[in-house]
Structure formats: C-alpha cells, structure tokens
Amino acid sequence: MNERILGVWFAVMTLASAQPAVSGDDVRALLQDPSGDLARLAKGALGESGGNQLFYFPSHDEPTTPAASGLKFENVDFKSADGTALHGWFIPAKNKSAQTAKGTIVFSHGNAGSIGHHLGLCTWMVEANYNVIIYDYRGFGKSAGSVGRRGMIDDVKAAFAYARQRPDIDPQRLISYGHSLGGAQSVTALGESPVAGLRAIVIDGAFASYQAMARIFGGQLGASLVTDELSPKDFVKKLAPVPLLVVHGSDDEVVPIAQGRQLFESAGQPKTLFEVKTGRHATSLSNDRGAYRKKMIAWLDAAMKG
C-alpha cells in the first residue's frame, strides 16, 4: 500500500470515528480519488451507506442572533419524535403582533454551521410581516443528538408540530421554507406527513437526489457510498395540492439547477418555478437588490389568500 493510500486510510478512519479533523474539502478530495484501493478502503471503513454521514457539516457556535439586526426573538426548545431535544428561535413579524402576522414561516436551513449562520436567508421575511421559526436539526447548534438522515427529516416534522401548538400564532396559516439541504429534507418530511394548516411550500437551491449530489462531488465512488433513501424526488409529488414554489439560481455552484428543475417537473400542481439568472447557491433571492424576494413575498401573499 503506497504512502498516498496510507494517508487516505487515515482520513477515512478519522471520518469513521467522527473526529472533526477532516474538512469538507478533504472529504471531496477523498471521494474523487479513482483508486480501486481507495474505494475498497473507504467502503471498508464507512460501510456501503456510511457516506450518508458525509453530507453534514454542523457546528455548535452562535455567530449572531436576530438581536444583531434589531429584531425581537425568543429561544424555543422542543423535542423530535424520538425525544431528541431541539433548539431554535421564534422571531415575530416586525410590524405586527404574532397573532396578526400574515402567517408563520418554518425555516429549515441548509447544510453546515448552525442557525446563526443562516439568519440572512430568512430575517427579511420578518420585515414583510411574517413570523419566522428557525431551528437546528439534531447534531447542529444547541440541538442534542447526532446527525442522520432519518432523524433530521423527523426534526422537520417536529418543528411544524411545535409551530402548531404555539397559542400566539394561527396554526392554519403555516408556510414551509427550506434552503438547500433544508429544502430537500422538508420535501420528504411534508410528503411523508402532510401538515394541517400548511398553505405554501418554498424550496430554494434544493436537490432531488442524495446519490446524484454525491456523484457530482465524488464521482462513482461517492455515489457508491451514499443511499438514495428518503430522497425528495420520491416525495415531491405528494406535496400537492399545497402550492409549491421552486427557486433556483442559474449559476448555483453547489446544487446544479438541473436538480431544482427535476423537482419542479416531478411536482404536482399548483407549482411555480423561479429560475434566477446569475443566481448562486445563497444569493438567488437577494440578487438584483432583492427582486426575487419581492416576487416571493407576492407569491406567498397570494397563497395565503387562496
């Protein structure tokens, strides 16, 4: 076994033991190696589906809170179906009381970091007089537990269960908004378990298939280490008749726009697609001085009247 393979073996074993020494770039470099020895070693260390864990890059820091933007907020705690303790923030609509807001958005954030890293993607909706609940999945931020696809999808369901039981919001005026991984997980969660009072679903930069994303970043080896179990492509049809808005940037450097188009094409009616010219993974809605933010708010306002 040559020196390079020994180095890769060390990296694989580090990943398998859940040590934080290996970065996302290290993971991608590992998966892109075409060596047959590497493939054998990776599968031996991680197992046939062990690559599922490589999707997630959580952190437990709190780089900011809504208060930094002059917004009121409340720390909230609730439990997932298996008892895992989850943490989030409730941010009431800025210019209305929580009870008189246009509706309440449950925001499911993308991969990496914690809720403080994703606030910029959702606080602008507070300015548009929507309440926002933003939360961390298990293994992220201040939430307990360990990352895992099944559990994290159940965490999405738990966030909606929490929203429905709050006495200060209207449970018949709920909206799901998911970015990237959060969009993928929310599609599956809501396809499995429809939510009473859900009036609209928005996904931004979401992918259709875990294996397809693994292949994009890691070639055939990457795809071979990941399962497609619970992929959103198999659940998006079940969202109808709740209105669906698919947002995707033409220049998304993380999730190719073809993944968003696949979800849109597979979805039932009513559905709308915003293909944002020059939009990147986290900038589609903020491009052109927020032109698509205005379009999204108009779309949501119409859905809430429907």
Mean pLDDT, to the nearest integer, of 162-167?
97
- Tens digit of pLDDT for each residue in 185-196? 999 999 999 999
For the cut 70, the answer to whether the pLDDT of residue 22 exceeds it is no
For the cut 50, the answer to whether the pLDDT of residue 11 exceeds it is no
CA distance 265 to 153: 23
Reported as a pLDDT band with limits 50, 70 and 90, residue 5 is very low
CATH class of the domain whose range is 66-305: alpha beta
Most confident of 12-16, 54-58, 179-183: 179-183
For the cut 80, the answer to whether the pLDDT of residue 296 exceeds it is yes
CATH 3.40.50.1820 in the chain, residue ranges? 66-305
E-strand ranges in 69-196 read 74-79, 85-91, 104-108, 131-135, 174-179
Reported as a pLDDT band with limits 50, 70 and 90, residue 216 is confident
- Which of 73-77, 102-106, 157-161, 286-290 shows the lowest per-residue confidence on average (mean pLDDT)? 286-290
For the cut 50, the answer to whether the pLDDT of residue 122 exceeds it is yes
For the cut 80, the answer to whether the pLDDT of residue 12 exceeds it is no
User: How many Cβ atoms are within 10 Å of 274's Cβ, its own excluded?
Assistant: 20
| Apex 192 CA angle, 189 and 194, nearest 5 | 85
For the cut 90, the answer to whether the pLDDT of residue 266 exceeds it is yes
Most confident of 98-102, 217-221, 257-261: 257-261
Q: What is the overall mean pLDDT for the chain?
A: 87
Q: Partners of 107 in the beta sheet?
A: 134, 177
CA distance 55 to 49: 12
* Residue 151 vs residues 18, 104, 230: alpha-carbon distances, Å: 17, 23, 11
pTM, two decimal places: 0.86
Q: How many helices (H) and strands (E) does the chain have?
A: 9, 8
For the cut 80, the answer to whether the pLDDT of residue 68 exceeds it is yes
- State the pLDDT at residue 96: 82
User: How many Cβ atoms are within 10 Å of 217's Cβ, its own excluded?
Assistant: 17
- State the pLDDT at residue 223: 76
147 or 6: whose pLDDT is higher?
147
